Chain A
Amino acid sequence: MHRLLRPKPDRSKRSIAEVAVAVTVCYLVLGLCGAKGLARWATHLPDGELSAMLRALTHEHWRNASLLGLEQPGIGIERWFLQMQGAPKLMYPRSYAMEAAHRRRKNEQKLASVQASFPTSMGMEAIPAEFAGGSKHGPRVLVIGDSLMLTVGPVVKKDVEAKLGGLAWIKAKLGTGLARPDLFDWPVDLKRVVTATRFDAVVMMFGTNDSQDFYEEGELLGYGTEPWVRAYNKRLAALMSATCDSVQHGFWIGMPPMRDPVFARKMLRINAWAAHQVAAHPCMQYISTERLVGDQDGGFADYLQIQTHLEKVRMLDGIHVTAKGGTLISATLIDLLKGTLRVQAMVSP
C-alpha cells in the first residue's frame, strides 16, 4: 500500500553524473562505429604536423575498427541508402585490407575496359607542329573535354579537316572536368594554350566527372549544395572567359542523356548551368545533344533510327557515345562552325 502511494519518479529529469556517463557512452560508440567517418574527416584537415599525426591515428583506428567489424551496421545502412537513391552499388568488403584490394582490382578492371574502347588521353602534350605556324588556310579549332570528348573529338577533328579544310587539335583527358582541378586544371590550361596559339574556335565538352564534392578555397563543398553550385558556376565562367578573352567563338557541347536516371538528372543540371553561363558569354554558343543522340523527348536511347537503319549511338556504359553518335553531334557543330565562320569571312575586309 505504502509503495503504491509513493509518487512515480520523474524519469525525464536526470542527474549530471548520469548524463555525463551517457554522453561518454555516446562518444565512445560514435568513435568506434564511425571510425571511417573520422578517418575521412582527418584527410580533409589542412596540412601540418598535428593533422598528419591525426590522419595516421584515425587511419589506424579505422583499420582496427573495420577488422573488428564495428563499422558493418553503418556500411550496411549507407549501402541501402545509396541503393534507394538509385546510385550504383558500393561494394564494401568485410575488412579494410579486403576493401583496398577490391577497389584496386575494380579500378584496374575499369581502366582496362575503358582503355580497350578509347585512349585515356589525347593531345595533352605540347602544341602539335601544324599549329605552330600560321600557314594553313581554314579554321583552327581547339577541341577540349573529358572522356566524352575522347569519343566525339576524333569525329570532330576529321570533319573540321574534311568539311572545313581546317585544323583541329583534340586535347582531352579521361576522368577530368571542372570539379577536380587537382587532377587537371582546365581553365588555367585553356588560358595558357589560347594565349600561346591562335585559334578561331574552341569546342568544349565537360560534365561527366563533375557531380562530386570538391574543395574550394580549402573548404569541402557538398555536391549540389548552394555553395557548390556557386563555385561550379564560377569555374564554368572562368573556362568560358578564358575562351572569350582570346578566341572569337566558343562552343559548349551539352551532356547527352544518360541511361542511369540519377546520373541523367545530374547531367541535366550541369547542362542548365552551362547554358546559363553560355548566355552570359557573348562568344559562346550552346549545342544541346539531348535530341541529337537521344529519343524524341530528349531521353536516353541506345539505338536511333537513321534513315532506314537502326544505328547504335551509345556505348555499353550508357554514358559515352559511339562514333556514330559522335558523327551526329559533329554534324551540328560543323554546321554552326560553317555559319559562324562564313559570316566572319563576309564581314572581315
Chain B
Amino acid sequence: MQPPLVEVGLLFPTVEFAVFFLFVFVASWASARWPTLRKLILLAASYVFYGWWDPHFCLLLFVCTMVNYGFGLGLQGSRGEARRRTITTVAVLFNLAILGYFKYWGFFLSSAAQALDALHLGHDFKIFEALLPVGISFYTFQGISYIVDIYRGEIRAVKDPVDMLLFKSFFPQLIAGPIVRAKEFLPQLAQSFDLSELYATRAFLLIAMGLFKKVVIAHYLAVELVGPVFESPSSYGTIDLMFAAYGYAVQIYCDFSAYTDLAIGVALLFGYQFPANFNQPYRAVSLQDFWRRWHISLSRFLRDYLYIPLGGSRGPWWMTYRNLLLTMVLGGLWHGASWTFVFWGLLHGLGLCLEKVAAIPNLSFMRWPPMRLIRRFGTFHFVCLTWIFFNADSLSSATSFLESLGHTGVPPKIIAPFSLSLLLVGLGSQFLPANLLSRLEAGFSRVPLPMQGAFTALAVIAIVACGPGALAPFIYFRF
C-alpha cells in the first residue's frame, strides 16, 4: 500500500516556477562574490521550494540532513575500524528507517494482514497512513552514499553545515533526482565560482528539450493512449494494448528524462553540474546495457552500495545470481511500496541472470550487426513487458493486461495518427546520434547569447502552445 502523496507543489513547467527561478537566479548571482551568502540564498530557496509541497516536510529534511552531518563528522573523527563500521551501520540504518517508516510501513503491515488473512489468522493492524514526503527516496539515498563514501575514504566529512544542507536540499535535484553524490557536488560548493564559466547554451537546450518531452510527448501519450488502455485493458484488443505498452515505455522515458533535463539545465544556470541520468536507454542491446543507460544515478547507486557490498560477482556463481536478484528486487521496491514494483524488479533480476547464464554479450556472433538489431528488439520488448507491471495498479491488473493481449479479434479503438506520431518521435529520439546534444550545443553557441535567450523563449512559447491547460506531476515524484 503506497502512502498518499501531496500533489500540490512547485512544478518546473509552471509560471510559478518561472517567477521563483527568476528571483533566485538574480539573488544568487548578485551575491556571487560572497560564497556563504550565495549558499544561504540557494539554501533558503531550496527549502521554500520543498516547503511549497508541505512545510512539515522541511523539518524532516532538515533533521535527516543534520543527523547525517553529525554521523559524517563522527565517522571522520573515529579511528578504529570496528567503531567506524558501527557508525556507518547506524547511519545507514537511520536513513533506511526514515525511508521505511514513511514509505513502506503501511505496505508491510497490509501485506502481513493479507498473509495472516489467507491463513485464517486474520489480524486487524492499525495502519498508520503518513503522507509520503516527496523526494524522500532520493535524499535518503544521498544520505547513505555520503556516509558510505566517508567510510570508504572517498570523501572527507563536510565541516560547514550550510554545505551539507545545500547538498541534500538543492532544489533542482531534490524531488526526483538525479541522485547526486557527495563527491560530485560538495567539491563544486567548495571551489570559488568562476563567473566566466557558465554552460548557458547547454542549459537552454536542456530546458527546451525537457519541456517538450514532458509537456508534449509524455502528457499526450498518457492522456490519449496509455491512461485509457491501462485503466480498462479488457475493453481493448491486441493492437491497442501493444501500442499502449510501447506508449508507456516512451511516456515514462520522456517524463523522467524531462525532469532530469530540466534539473540539469536549471542547475547549470546556477553554475553547478549534475551527472547525466539517461543515455538513449531503448537502444540498449541487453538488459545490462539498458541499466547502464536508464536512471544511471540509481543504477550506479545500486551497484556501488548494494550489489558490490553484497559480494558482487566475486563469489561462487549462485551468489552472483542471488546478489543480482536481491539488488533488482530492492531496486524495484525503492520505486514504490507495491508488489507490482517488486515483481518488476524481480523480472529485471531474472532477465539479468539469464543474460549472465547464457553469457549473451560475450558471444562473438552476437556482435554481428543484424544480431545486434535482434538483441535491441528483444531487450526493448522485454523492458516493455516489465513496464506493464510497473504501471499497473496491482498484479491482477497487470495479469488482466497480459491476458487481454490475446484479444486478437477486437479492432483497434484508441490508436490515432496523433498518438502514433508522438510514439514514433519518442522512440526515434533513441536512435539519433549519441552526441547530438553536444553538436547542437556547438551550433547554437555560435548564436549570440541574448539571441539564444530569445530563441529559448520562443521555443518555450511554442511548446506551451502545444501543451494542455494543466500538467500532471512527474511520474517519479511519487517515488
Name A's B-contacting residues (CB within 8 A): 11-30, 33-34, 37-38, 40-41, 73-75, 77-78, 81, 84-86, 213, 219-229, 261-262, 265, 268-269, 272-273, 275-276, 297
- Report which of B18, B450, B458 forms a contact with A33, defined as CB distance below 8 A: B458
Given contacts A16-B195, A29-B454, contact A74 B449 (CB under 8 A): no
CB pair B457 A33 closer than 8 Å: yes
Q: Max chain B CB contacts within 10 Å: which of A11, A14, A20, A29?
A: A14
CB pair B469 A220 closer than 8 Å: yes
Beyond the given A33-B461, A74-B465, A224-B224, could you list 17 further A-B residue pairs with CB under 8 A, ordered by the A residue number?
Answer: A14-B200, A22-B450, A22-B452, A25-B457, A27-B22, A29-B453, A34-B457, A34-B464, A37-B461, A73-B461, A77-B466, A81-B465, A84-B421, A220-B469, A222-B223, A222-B471, A223-B469
- Nearest chain-B residue to A218 (Cβ)? B8
- Report which of A15, A37, A75, A225 forms a contact with B471, defined as CB distance below 8 A: A225
Across the interface, which residues of A come within 8 angstroms of B357, CB to CB? Answer: none
Across the interface, which residues of B come within 8 angstroms of A17, CB to CB? Answer: 195
Q: How far is the CA of A19 from the CA of B193 in the complex (A)?
A: 14
- Report which of A12, A25, A28, A268 forms a contact with B199, defined as CB distance below 8 A: A12
State how many angstroms separate the Cβ of A20 from the closest Cβ of chain B: 6
Q: How far is the CA of A14 from the CA of B448 in the complex (A)?
A: 11
State how many angstroms separate the Cβ of A80 from the closest Cβ of chain B: 9
Given contacts A16-B198, A19-B198, A21-B450, contact A222 B458 (CB under 8 A): no
Across the interface, which residues of A come within 8 angstroms of B468, CB to CB? Answer: 213, 222-223, 225
27 contacts between A and B (CB under 8 A): A11-B442, A11-B445, A13-B196, A14-B196, A14-B197, A15-B195, A15-B196, A16-B198, A19-B269, A22-B450, A23-B22, A24-B453, A26-B204, A29-B453, A29-B461, A40-B469, A73-B461, A77-B462, A213-B470, A219-B8, A222-B219, A222-B471, A224-B223, A229-B231, A265-B413, A269-B228, A297-B411
Name B's A-contacting residues (CB within 8 A): 7-8, 15, 18, 22, 25, 29, 32, 195-202, 204, 219-220, 222-224, 227-228, 231-232, 235, 269, 411, 413-414, 416-418, 421, 441-442, 445-446, 449-454, 456-458, 460-462, 464-466, 468-473
- Nearest chain-A residue to B472 (Cβ)? A225
Across the interface, which residues of A come within 8 angstroms of B7, CB to CB? Answer: 219, 227
CB pair A84 B418 closer than 8 Å: yes
Across the interface, which residues of A come within 8 angstroms of B442, CB to CB? Answer: 11-12
- Report which of B8, B235, B454, B470 forms a contact with A25, defined as CB distance below 8 A: B454
- Nearest chain-A residue to B441 (Cβ)? A12
- Report which of A12, A25, A30, A297 forms a contact with B450, defined as CB distance below 8 A: A25
CB pair B15 A41 closer than 8 Å: yes
Q: How far is the CA of A14 from the CA of B441 in the complex (A)?
A: 13
CB pair B472 A18 closer than 8 Å: no
Given contacts A30-B460, A73-B461, contact A222 B472 (CB under 8 A): yes
CB pair A11 B201 closer than 8 Å: yes
- Report which of B195, B223, B464 forms a contact with A37, defined as CB distance below 8 A: B464
Closest CB pairs A-B (n = 3): A225-B472, A224-B223, A22-B453
CB pair B450 A213 closer than 8 Å: no
State how many angstroms separate the Cβ of B16 from the closest Cβ of chain A: 8
CB pair B227 A229 closer than 8 Å: yes
CB pair B461 A272 closer than 8 Å: no
- Nearest chain-B residue to A269 (Cβ)? B228
- Report which of B29, B417, B421, B462 forms a contact with A74, defined as CB distance below 8 A: B462
State how many angstroms separate the Cβ of A145 from the closest Cβ of chain B: 23
CB pair A213 B469 closer than 8 Å: yes
CB pair B461 A223 closer than 8 Å: no
CB pair B416 A261 closer than 8 Å: yes
Q: How far is the CA of A75 from the CA of B227 in the complex (A)?
A: 28
CB pair B472 A14 closer than 8 Å: no
State how many angstroms separate the Cβ of B142 from the closest Cβ of chain A: 27
Across the interface, which residues of B come within 8 angstroms of A27, CB to CB? Answer: 18, 22, 457
State how many angstroms separate the Cβ of B219 from the closest Cβ of chain A: 7
Across the interface, which residues of A come within 8 angstroms of B195, CB to CB? Answer: 15-17
Across the interface, which residues of B come within 8 angstroms of A20, CB to CB? Answer: 29
CB pair B461 A225 closer than 8 Å: no
CB pair A37 B15 closer than 8 Å: yes
CB pair A26 B456 closer than 8 Å: yes
Q: How far is the CA of A297 from the CA of B413 in the complex (A)?
A: 10
CB pair A265 B472 closer than 8 Å: no
State how many angstroms separate the Cβ of B437 from the closest Cβ of chain A: 11
CB pair A225 B222 closer than 8 Å: yes
State how many angstroms separate the Cβ of B220 from the closest Cβ of chain A: 8
Across the interface, which residues of B come within 8 angstroms of A78, CB to CB? Answer: 465-466
Across the interface, which residues of B come within 8 angstroms of A34, CB to CB? Answer: 457, 460-461, 464
Q: How far is the CA of A14 from the CA of B449 in the complex (A)?
A: 8
CB pair B449 A18 closer than 8 Å: yes
Across the interface, which residues of A come within 8 angstroms of B204, CB to CB? Answer: 22, 26
- Nearest chain-A residue to B456 (Cβ)? A26
- Nearest chain-B residue to A222 (Cβ)? B470
